[in-house]
Amino acid sequence: MPPDAPAASQRVVRLSLLTTFGEMCGIATYSEALVKELAQQSVAVSVLAPKLRRTDSPQGDQPVRIWRRNRAGLLEAWRTFREIRAQRADVVHLQLSSAFFSPRFLLGLAQQCRRAGIPLVATLHEASGGSALRRFQFARALRALRDAELIVHSPDPGVAAAHVIPHGIATLPRRPRDEARRELGIDPGAVVISHFGFIHPDKGLEEVLRAAARLRGGSFPRLEYRVCGGTFANKSSREHLQHLQSVVSSLGLGDAVHLTGEFAAEERVTLEMQAADLVVLNYKTGNRQGASGAAHRALATGCALAVTAAPIFDNLREAAHTLTGPLEAELQALLQSPARLATLAAQAEAFVQERSWSRVAGTHAELYRRALGRPRP
pLDDT tens-digit map of 318-330: 999 999 999 999 9
**Residue 6 domain-assigned (yes or no):** no
Check whether residue 120 and residue 259 sit in a common domain: no
**Residue 5 domain-assigned (yes or no):** no
Distance in angstroms (rounded) separating the CA atoms of residues 35 and 40:
9
Check whether residue 232 and residue 110 sit in a common domain: no
Check whether residue 152 and residue 195 sit in a common domain: no
3-class state of residue 229 by DSSP: coil
Residue 2 scores a pLDDT above 60:
no
Express each pLDDT in 43-75 by its tens digit.
Answer: 999 999 999 988 888 988 999 999 999 889 999
* CA trace torsion 8, 11, 12, 18 (10° rounding): -130
Residue 84 scores a pLDDT above 60:
yes
Work out the average pLDDT over 25-34: 93
Nearest CA to 26 among 359, 364, 269?
269
Express each pLDDT in 306-317 by its tens digit.
Answer: 999 998 999 899
What pLDDT was estimated at residue 232? Answer: 77
- Residue 287 pLDDT class (50, 70, 90 cuts): low
3-class state of residue 42 by DSSP: coil
Check whether residue 342 and residue 364 sit in a common domain: no
| Nearby residues of 333 by Cβ (< 8 Å), 6 or more positions away | 340
What pLDDT was estimated at residue 7? Answer: 47
3-class state of residue 293 by DSSP: helix
Domains identified in the chain, total number: 2
Check whether residue 154 and residue 199 sit in a common domain: no
In single-letter form, the type of residue at position 102 comes to S
**Residue 7 domain-assigned (yes or no):** no
**Residue 115 domain-assigned (yes or no):** yes
CATH number for the domain including 62?
3.40.50.2000
What pLDDT was estimated at residue 56? Answer: 83
What pLDDT was estimated at residue 129? Answer: 87
**Residue 338 domain-assigned (yes or no):** yes
Express each pLDDT in 192-238 by its tens digit.
Answer: 999 999 898 999 999 999 999 999 999 999 999 999 988 877 788 88
Q: How distant, in Å, are the alpha carbons of 62, 80, 121, 196 from that of 58? A: 7, 20, 26, 20
Check whether residue 280 and residue 201 sit in a common domain: yes
What pLDDT was estimated at residue 8? Answer: 44
* Phi, psi dihedrals of residue 228, rounded to the nearest 5°: -105, 95
Check whether residue 88 and residue 199 sit in a common domain: no
Task: Give the domain extent around 225.
Answer: 177-354
Q: Which residues of 193-224 are buried (b: 16+ CB within 10 A; e: fewer)?
A: bbbbbbbbebbbbeebbebbbbbbeeebeebb
Percent of the residues in the chain that have a pLDDT greater than 90, as a whole number: 75
Distance in angstroms (rounded) separating the CA atoms of residues 364 and 370:
10
CA dihedral sign, ordered 308, 312, 315, 319 = negative
Distance in angstroms (rounded) separating the CA atoms of residues 195 and 198:
9
Express each pLDDT in 258-274 by its tens digit.
Answer: 999 888 888 999 999 99
Q: Are 20 and 49 in contact (CB under 8 A)?
A: yes
- Residue 286 pLDDT class (50, 70, 90 cuts): low
Percent of the residues in the chain that have a pLDDT greater than 70, as a whole number: 96
Express each pLDDT in 353-377 by its tens digit.
Answer: 889 999 999 999 999 999 999 876 5
Check whether residue 47 and residue 121 sit in a common domain: yes
Check whether residue 343 and residue 363 sit in a common domain: no
Work out the average pLDDT over 17-28: 93
Check whether residue 94 and residue 39 sit in a common domain: yes
Instruction: Kindly report the pTM of this predicted structure.
Output: 0.79
Check whether residue 283 and residue 209 sit in a common domain: yes
Distance in angstroms (rounded) separating the CA atoms of residues 308 and 27:
21
What pLDDT was estimated at residue 377? Answer: 59
What pLDDT was estimated at residue 1? Answer: 42
* CA trace torsion 273, 172, 124, 377 (10° rounding): 180
Check whether residue 209 and residue 137 sit in a common domain: no
3-class state of residue 322 by DSSP: strand
Q: Average model confidence (pLDDT) for the chain? A: 92
**Residue 3 domain-assigned (yes or no):** no
**Residue 101 domain-assigned (yes or no):** yes
Residue 294 scores a pLDDT above 60:
yes
